[in-house]
Structure 1
Amino acid sequence: MIIGLMLAFGIDPKEFLTSITIVAAALALTFRDYITNMISGLIIMFSDQLTLGDYVKIGEHQGQIIDITLVNIVINNDDDDIVMVPNNFVFTNNIINQSFQNSRKVSVEFELDLAHAIDREILKARLSDLLAQHNNEVQEDSMKLKVLAVQKDLVKYKVQFTLTNKGKTQSQFIKNAVLNEVMKIKN
């Protein structure tokens, strides 16, 4: 029926198919990187090698995976910058998934109202003293305190430390102790 309509309007079917083929080839060349990027994204999404929350190093980019899309992997690096790494880049570079080897690293994020905010060094000292009480569970001098954001009426913090042994219950116990100390500051 389509060929009959083409002949009725004076269009040569061979020339039409040739034109369509050339256009399809041009589109494939134009969108080649985007298509391979999407296929790479699907492979990453359905493999169990990378998951949200993993701490990875891909090329010169290092940080925690916060999103995996068809186009890129979104990483929150140690400076709290959001880095979008194209999926093709992931496939052509070495990946170090540090979550597999370092599950002892613990992060606790919390917020303090500006009315309850205290000097960063005082907060760091209080949390260091708290973690020193758990010196059997927490590696000495492994604590880092970061200010994630200062907003209109609150300050967001993140404290990170390394446990001496792997263990989910131990990690949760120390996290609760840190959050209880933060609650004392708020009160």
Structure 2
Amino acid sequence: MMSSTEKQISFTENWFKQTMDTLQNEGTWVNLGVAVIKIILILFVANLVIRFGKIAIHNIFKIRNLSPLNTSERREETLSKLLDNILSYVVYFIALMMILSVFGINVQALIAGAGIVGLAVGFGAQNLVKDIITGFFIIFEDQFSVGDHIRIGQFEGNVETIGLRTTKIKSWTGEVHILPNGSITQVTNFSLNNSLAVVDIGIAYGEDLEKAERVIDELLIKMPAQNEDLTKTPELLGIQTMSPTEIVYRIIAETLPMKQASAARLIRKEVKLVLDQHGIKVPYPKLVAYSQGDQPK
């Protein structure tokens, strides 16, 4: 009877001998070389399919732009990126299955086993399924697209990417917020319609109000030609309030989406300059001091 130590030594010797015989066999290296060549060809063809597939996707959207049924640029960019990702996932999955088959692995049995495992995992992955379904409806209903400025809860910024599972929002200070699509219940989209700039201009008491209105109106007529963010001529509504120190005029201007802040700053600057040119004063703080012996009348 052989002891356990002798059996282990004998097993090691047999394994080493079989390994050396395999490595010295010319057919082993031929098969390995053929397998490596097949894998390289599979990866090469997969990359070609992905590259030409992406080109075809973008060309399809270019052709749609020439048709009367073209979609908006924001939606096209979202759909093209999504289709690029789906194409990459599908092609790489097929390539992986082909590589496994090169090594003699039964791919059909592997896929069948993965389906059973996936079914079991699916019961515990309800949040993932919810994210994917919500992401599909976000894209299908065009709730928002890449490049839109939106607010979701406490997060606000420009949409960087939209996937079937997550959405990335970049705030104006540079932070990127990654939100699961399933958590998106309410969205405020600031990029769908034009914005409105509201500007209040103060005029000092004692100034010629009719002259001030005429000067401001003449300025506003010229402003759309100077600022492409303005979609129409700004409108002087008239006196908004009369405070103890000033008379406040209100101006409204329709602008491109999310351009109201820059347009309002430009309007304030131009109105101030034109009022100064015509000698119309804006209100400024006044300080009245009394000496101890003076009696106010």
Normalised by the length of structure 1, the TM-score is 0.42
* Structure that is richer in strand per residue: 1
Larger Rg belongs to = 2
Which is helix-richer, 1 or 2?
2
TM-score (norm 2): 0.28
